[in-house]
Amino acid sequence: MNLIEQYRVFISSLLIGVYLGVTYDLLFHFVSSKLNKIIRSIIDVLFFVIQALVVFRFMYKINHAIIPLYTYFLFMFGFLIYHYFADDYYKKRIEPLQYLVKKIFMMIKKSLYWGFIEPYMTIYTMLKKRFIKFKSWFIKKRVKHKIKKKERKKKRAKKKEEKKIKKKQKKEEVLLKKKKRREQKLNKKEKKRQIKMQKKNKLGDGDAKKQFQTDQSW
């Protein structure tokens, strides 16, 4: 490895350290600062793993897969240089940028909400209200139908009972009429028999008188 290549590796390593500082600050201010410690530590680990892969890929192309030991120290040195010289300036600049990004994000969120979510929500609430009204109307109608059905059944049962009672009454009336007819027939027969008996008795009395008169004549 000649002097030019070493110089290129030196400058690249310092710039990579600065790049790591910048990206880590961006991640911290925009993502990690709003999370709890456990998730923040997981995101930090993932960040450094991904950045290690990116840096290794970059150094592999620059130095033909040769990564000297001093490059790691240069990474750290570049990271420290960034934090020493540019950290305060970057923080001052990042606050308005953060506010701007937040504002843009809120505008996008509101536009998406009012453009896509709100119409669907209004339609959903309208449909829900209509469905609830239809459901209540349908339930009321069904309940009324059931009540009417029960009332019809009760009326039918009452009519059947009334018919049965009427049939029983008719049967009883028919039986009473038959009994009366029988009694009338029996009464007629009894009267006829009594008349016959009276006639016989009268005939018997007449014969006795005749016999008595004949006896006296003798």
Task: Encode pLDDT of 98-137 as tens digits.
Answer: 677 777 878 887 777 777 777 777 887 888 888 888 778 8
- Counting the structural domains of the chain, the total is 1
Residue 80 lies in a domain: yes
**pTM of the model as a whole:** 0.43
Residue 153 lies in a domain: no
Question: At 53, phi and psi to the nearest 5?
Answer: -65, -40
pLDDT tens digits, one per residue of 163-196: 888 888 888 888 888 888 888 888 888 787 777 7
Residue 71 confidence (pLDDT) above 60: yes
* Domain presence at residue 96: yes
pLDDT band (50, 70, 90) for residue 217: low
Whether 207 is in a domain gets the answer no
Annotate 121-173 with DSSP letters as a single string.
HHHHHHHHHHHHHHHHHHHHHHHHHHHHHHHHHHHHHHHHHHHHHHHHHHHHH
Give the mean pLDDT of the chain: 77
CB-CB contact of 32 with 43 (8 Å): yes
Using DSSP's 3-state secondary structure scheme, residue 61 falls into helix
Q: Domain limits at 81?
A: 3-139
Rounded mean pLDDT, 29-57: 82
